[in-house]
Amino acid sequence: MLPPLSVLDLAPVPQGTPASEAIRRTVDLARLAEELGFVRYWFAEHHSMPSVASSSPEILIGHAAGATRQIRVGSGGIMLPNHAPLRIAEAFRTLAALYPDRIDLGLGRAPGADLNASRAMRAFNGEDFPHLVAELLAFNTPERFADDHPLRQVRAVPDDVPLPPIWILGSSGASAAYAGKSGMGYSYASHFSPAPAAPAFSAYREHFTPSAQFPAPHTILGVAVVCAETTDRARFLASTMQLAWLRIRRGQFLPLPSPEEASAYPYSAAERDAVREYEALTVVGNVQEVRARLAAMAADCGADELMVVTNVYDHGERLRSYELLARE
């Protein structure tokens, strides 16, 4: 039995498709996810990557929430070191005012960008993450600032709307205890992290302190999935991200290649080894195979929810993968 399912969207950009079109297509998947009963729909923040068009999650959240009626929409996540906390407080209070009880605020400490893009954004150091979160929360409750703090009189408007539920994103387990102590949700990125999720989830639950937004701990396991009618078809579609993954390791953030191009690529032995690392992080197969592996992964770490990211070349095949997974 699978736990509830959600969607992580990076607005992938296939070769030959304008990034602007990839952004507009996000509504197709958001509406389908709502129809299929997915719990939430999150956008990830990345910068200066021609293969990914989700550089402005807060704008995409508003776009998707406006095109749907009840599915929760949020960030998976906002990379807080890239932003002034006041700006995020204002943006997400605005979203919460427009779409009450439907917005999530997922926060990450990674840059979501290379060094030059981080410099262009004047990003904070990732080690400042706890301080940045504390400042963000203080704008939600100004009394958290000391009486003589220069920011105590600053208001994040609209100031009659609280921040949405906050989730901490992790990929190594380092932030798990922090998320638990803070009474927040916790999401683990197993779609790109080879480290097991179970120890991180255990640390999160062990340190969990109930809060108004999270009276009980809640864990989300991020998983990369390619599902098709047959195993061979799924493997063919998944070849796109195998080649894309290899290119990313070289610092080449190109639009997604077609599966035909990827299947014809002449991998060296060393490149095959690198691709196997990616394959180990991806669930690929027919419906029965995918669901069985996802159920085992969720049971192994005790995930309360699975958040599925599917990046394939063809837009219709991408929608179909989510549809097969949910409707079976």
Segments making up each domain of the chain, as ranges: 5-327
What do you get for the CA distance between the two ends of the chain, in Å? 11
Using 50, 70 and 90 to split pLDDT, how confident is the model at 143? confident
What sign does the dihedral 97-55-326-318 (CA atoms) show?
Answer: positive
Which ranges in the chain belong to alpha helices (H)? 19-24, 26-36, 57-67, 85-98, 115-120, 129-140, 176-181, 198-207, 231-249, 259-264, 269-279, 287-301, 315-327
Look up the pTM and report it: 0.96
Q: pLDDT tens across 88-142, in order?
A: 999 999 999 999 999 999 999 987 777 888 888 887 877 899 999 999 999 998 7
Residue 328: its pLDDT value, please? Answer: 65
Neighbours of 156 (CB within 10 A): 22
User: 240, 256 in Cβ contact below 8 A?
Assistant: yes
Superfamily of domain 5-327: Luciferase-like domain (3.20.20.30)
Q: What would the mean pLDDT of 312-327 be, rounded to a whole number?
A: 97
